[in-house]
Amino acid sequence: MSGIFITFEGTEGGGKSTQIKLLAERLRALGCTVCVLREPGGTAIGEEIRHTLKHSECNHAMTPEAELLLMNASRAQLVREVIRPALAAGEVVLCDRFYDSTTAYQGHGRQLNLEMVGTVVEFAVGTTRPALTLLLKVPVAVSEARRQSRASAAGSVAEVAGQHTPTRDRMEEADRGFFERVERGYDAIASAEPARVKIVDATVEVSQVAAAIWERVEPLLREKSFVCAK
């Protein structure tokens, strides 16, 4: 039996990490073998690229084109090293971001040519596509507030640990206009592929978001005749 590939998307502060953890726990409790991944990253090579993209002090001058290519270098490695083998083994693969992030962030956000972005993504992923994409939506203002709160919390932790500066995230340093374009990009993706991309309101309580996610995941498990679909 081939596995199921589910991706989580959305702007910063949508709670993707929390919801992936909750879904993974629920699936494992039902007997599924679950592989949890993140992008960029998920492999030794990918994690090195992630650091370069997000946290390195040498990345301030990175161009949108370099960002696009690095994102997809990490993705190409992840697809071939981890995702395809996990799916072949019948696992449920949950990935925090996949190629929709590139369309939204590098295409719409950085305003790169969408056709060119699509060509690069196609080369990176080949035939590997998610069966379901959960788009966790929060308004830009809410995302902004959550990002600021997260940055403040990181700064406090760093101070307690005796660090001079918290780990910065270059992607979160963009202005509001960037994130507004990203949001519009995700809206366009969801409109173009409603069968795959399911919008989830992420402004409500964590338990309510988890319940909405399960409403979209359970039918897919049953459709694929997974043993964990009880």
Q: How many CB atoms lie within 10 A of CB 136?
A: 24
Please report the pLDDT score of residue 230 as a whole number.
Answer: 53
Give residue 158's pLDDT: 46
**pLDDT value of position 27:** 97
Q: What is the pLDDT along the chain (230 residues), one digit of tens a residue?
A: 589 999 999 988 889 999 999 999 999 999 999 999 999 999 999 999 999 999 999 999 999 999 999 999 999 999 999 999 999 999 999 999 999 999 999 999 999 999 999 999 999 999 999 999 999 999 887 777 766 666 555 554 445 555 555 578 898 888 999 999 999 999 999 999 999 999 999 999 999 999 999 999 999 999 988 766 55
Q: What was the pLDDT predicted at 200? A: 98
pLDDT at position 157: 46
* Angle separating helix axes 176-192 and 140-160, nearest 10 degrees: 120
pLDDT of residue 153: 55
pTM score > 0.85 for this model?
yes
CA angle 11, 84, 132 (to 5 degrees): 40
- Two tokens at 50? 């992630």
The domains found in the chain, sorted by start residue, are 4-141+175-223 (3.40.50.300)
**How high is the pLDDT of residue 142?**
74
